[in-house]
Structure 1
């Protein structure tokens, strides 16, 4: 890490509360939460936009598909933190560890349906050549059942994580060790 992590106890109460909520749910504090907390106003804006994109109701994109977009975008941007962290979340949502790893390495060879491949093709175009997006891209996605709001979601998630990837790379953000094993084996039934 190029920037020291702030002490949780020195952070504003609203940020502490959110971080403790995440820690309770995950069992650890993902490094992104503390890394970005050194600038509270940016932390709040970042996570407000993150939640608006990733938790939007009414979209036909599943939580797993959203994580696929994040993972593929992060791989294209060479962001170790986000590939490892969101690859773990993808494994949990999709319950398909092999597919999650395939998507992280080369989604074009992953065992995914044509709808998801079209979604990821579009995400890569937005990630690498957004200036070339045209009406044909919308038509291709419409043919797979995506509406214009879903297309906005794919573009927004791709763009947002482009920003996130760059900040993670510049700060030297390291994936928490816990992410590497999450979702790889089914949880024991109680």
Structure 2
């Protein structure tokens, strides 16, 4: 990918013209990460949808529960995005997973073949249900949900497995549809110390 690779097949909003709330959020993300993820720029041309997208993202991904850590949540995104062939989400959420799990290798192993990745039986069950929901939704049964409960997931956690998978199926398809490439900066996140 080169610097002149377009980040979307659709219009990209001028950052100077963003509504104040989005401009503030984008500035915070850029300050924290050192760059603006391409998905932010790609969604900015439709501000109401961008707000809704990020609100749903935050509600699902920015919490730690005993049954689903923030790292587990990112690994659900990595596994299901790999099943949906979404390079943007595998690369971007793989980077976040490396940071949140403090493991520089696990996200790559989950992306390539979650079945062989060194994860706990609990997380294996979570990824099994999530990937089936992403690829053959009708194959997920009440027994699968009971299996997740048997691994200590609460009702909220079980719902989150389905909601994360479903939300990122939307994200995967939008990234494909708009041809959003992953930022090059994602490739080193969680692998090498960040330069300050």
- Correspondence 1:90 to 2:90: no
Structure 1 gap ranges (5+): none
CA distance in 2, matches of 1:101, 1:151: 24
- Correspondence 1:141 to 2:148: yes
TM-score calculated relative to the size of structure 2: 0.91
Q: Which residue of 2 aligns with 1:70?
A: 77
- Cα offset for 1:4? 3.6
TM-score calculated relative to the size of structure 1: 0.94
Q: Which moved more, 1:27-36 or 1:1-10?
A: 1-10
CA distance in 1, matches of 2:177, 2:160: 26
Report 1:15-164 matches (<5 A): 15-56=22-63, 58=65, 60-164=67-171
CA distance in 1, matches of 2:11, 2:181: 12
Q: Which moved more, 1:121-130 or 1:52-61?
A: 52-61
- Cα offset for 1:187? 5.9
How many pairs were matched up?
189
- Cα offset for 1:101? 0.7
CA distance in 1, matches of 2:123, 2:192: 24
- Cα offset for 1:132? 2.5
Deviations 1:57-94 (A, max 9, x none): 65631000000001111111111110000000001111
* RMSD over aligned Cα atoms: 1.7
